[in-house]
Every structure is written in structure tokens, then in C-alpha cells.
Amino acid sequence: METALRIKGLNKHFANGKHALRDIDLTVRRGEMVALIGASGSGKSTLLRHVAGLVTADAGSESLIEIDGRCVQRNGRISSDIRAVRAHVGFVFQQFNLVARLPVLMNVMVGLVHRMPWWRSLLRVFVAQERALALEALTRVGIADCHAQRASTLSGGQQQRAAIARTLVQGAKVVLADEPIASLDPESSRKVMEILARINREDRSTVIVSLHQVDIAVKYCPRVIALHQGKVVFDGPSATLTPALLRDLYGVQADEILAPAMAPNVPPQTAPQPAMAGWAAQTQVA
């Protein structure tokens, strides 16, 4: 099985002394859909930013991050090949990162700029075939009818779907999504997660998605990686992740992670303890 992501010996101290990532070793195989969970401040965004090559690991310690066998960074130094590596990595952010005043179609075509001559990308000159590709991607995410609207006029859920369409036209083999549903209502969240799951299934893209909601992580992602204070404290099949295990791993912080999955009016000590998979099946995401 091909390796989509390999992380070895990753440590990160920020300038203020914060040890944000501790001895991370991870391998993700091509075509996996993995959830990254953990309380606020546990290091989810920092880890994804390292994988994207936006932040460097501690210098002077041995570490390696590779995507599809190509080096992103080694021993705290970004690879000179980083642009080529990034061309195959799609990013989806909580705040969508679209250009608000540009039409949706144009925003999606931005995903093609790495394949274009520089002058065309600079002038934003797109040919008919590129427009067709972008329209096809918008159709896949269900918002083709919005293609001519300015991005700022779309709902949050539609903007996030446009951001995913951008990764589709990019032909991203690996999609990194940092809390893509944190700003969305439940119905939009469900649609966005279903689209991510569909591109994982249909295109065999590797999807790594950080989420606050354990129930959603379990529902959509066969594998869960849980971080606690910068350390991987669980890495395994989501079906084996129980509320009891999460309480063991997170102690008093467990409620922050479990909160969305808790049935209303059920005090934690009397809450039932089925596997999270069972909870996820019962939990209305929509």
C-alpha cells in the first residue's frame, strides 16, 4: 500500500517556549480518511501546518515529513521542492480562504494556476477547457448554479464547497482540512463532510481532517488520531474509540471533546458508554 504521508520524529517548540508537537510519528496510507481530534490547543492546526510546509519543525533535531514520498521538510528545513509537492496538496480551512470579490468560478480556477504559464495565472486568463473543469467540480459539490456569484454572496456552507471544488480542479491527491465545518450549521456540516468522504471514496484521495466533534469524526472517518498537549494519544480505528477511553485520555478536558456527542440533559456520570460508533449512528448530524 502506498504511503501518502510519513511523519518521523516531529517536534515543535515555538519562540515563546511552547512545546506544541511532541515526538510525532505517523504514517497515512493512500486513500485513507483520517480525523485529527483533540481539545483546543492540542496541536491539530500546528500539525497540519507542518504537513503543508507552512511551519518548520525544530531545527537541530532529526525529523522528516513526506507526502507521496516527496520531502516537505527535513530536520526543520523546508524542501527546495516544496512548490511541486504543494501542487498535489489541497487545503481547506475553517474560514474558506476564497477571494470574496471574485466570482465563484474564478475562485475555483485558482486551483489550476500551478499548471499554467505564469503570465496567464497573473492575468487570470483561463481557457474554455479550464472553465469547463471548474464548472464540473462545482457540479460535483452541488453548487454549479452559484458559479457566477461573487464568493462573498455565498453561504458559509456553499463557500466551503467552493473551496473543496478548488482542490478538485487542482487534482489534489492529499486533502488537508483544518476544522472545515467549525463555522457551519449542522446541515451544511453534513454536506461538507459527505463531499469530503465522496472524493476520498471516488478519487481515492487521502483526506486528513481536523475536527472538534468526535461524533462526526467517527461517523465519517475510519481512522482517528487524537492529540493531547501535542502528543498522539490514540491512533486507531474510530470504532474502537469509546467515551470511556476518551475520558481516560483527556481527563477533565474530555467534556470539551465529547460535548457535541452528549445527549442533552444526561449528566456525564450517568451517560451510557457505548462505542462512539454506536453514538455516531444515533447522532443526528443534520
Binding residues for Mg ion (CB under 5 A): 44-45
Q: Is 18 in the site for ligand ATP (CB under 6 A)?
A: yes
CB nearer Mg ion, residue 48 or residue 104:
48
Burial (CB count within 10 angstroms: exposed 0-12, middle 13-18, buried 19+), residue 176:
buried
Q: For residue 45, give the 3-state DSSP assignment.
A: helix
Tell me which residue has its CB nearest to Mg ion: 45
Choose the binding region for ligand ATP from 38-46, 58-66, 169-177, 265-273 (rule: CB under 6 A). 38-46
CA 115 from chain centre, in angstroms, equals: 23
CB nearer ligand ATP, residue 40 or residue 282:
40
Q: For residue 187, give the 3-state DSSP assignment.
A: helix
Q: Is 81 in the site for ligand ATP (CB under 6 A)?
A: no
Q: How far is the CB of 21 from ligand ATP (least distance, A)?
A: 8
Q: Is 16 in the site for ligand ATP (CB under 6 A)?
A: yes
CB nearer Mg ion, residue 138 or residue 211:
211
Residue of 2, 25, 40, 204 interacting with ligand ATP (CB under 6 A) = 40
Q: How far is the CB of 41 from ligand ATP (least distance, A)?
A: 4
Residue of 44, 161, 166, 219 interacting with ligand ATP (CB under 6 A) = 44
Cα angle for residues 99, 105, 107 (degrees, 5° grid): 25
CB nearer ligand ATP, residue 169 or residue 225:
225
Q: Is 42 in the site for ligand ATP (CB under 6 A)?
A: yes
Q: Is 222 in the site for ligand ATP (CB under 6 A)?
A: no
Determine the Cα–Cα distance for residues 70 and 73; give it in Å rounded to an integer.
9
Grid-cell match 461524533, residue found: 215
Choose the binding region for ligand ATP from 44-52, 67-75, 79-87, 115-123 (rule: CB under 6 A). 44-52
CB nearer Mg ion, residue 45 or residue 188:
45
Determine the Cα–Cα distance for residues 72 and 59; give it in Å rounded to an integer.
14
Residue of 24, 32, 33, 43 interacting with ligand ATP (CB under 6 A) = 43
- Beta-carbon contacts of 105 under 8 Å, excluding residues fewer than 6 positions away, are 131, 134, 135, 138, 147, 148
Pairing of strands 19-29, 206-210: unpaired
Asked if 81 and 167 touch (Cβ cutoff 8 Å), the reply is no
Burial (CB count within 10 angstroms: exposed 0-12, middle 13-18, buried 19+), residue 4:
buried
Interface residues toward ligand ATP, by CB under 6 A: 14, 16, 18, 20, 38, 40-46
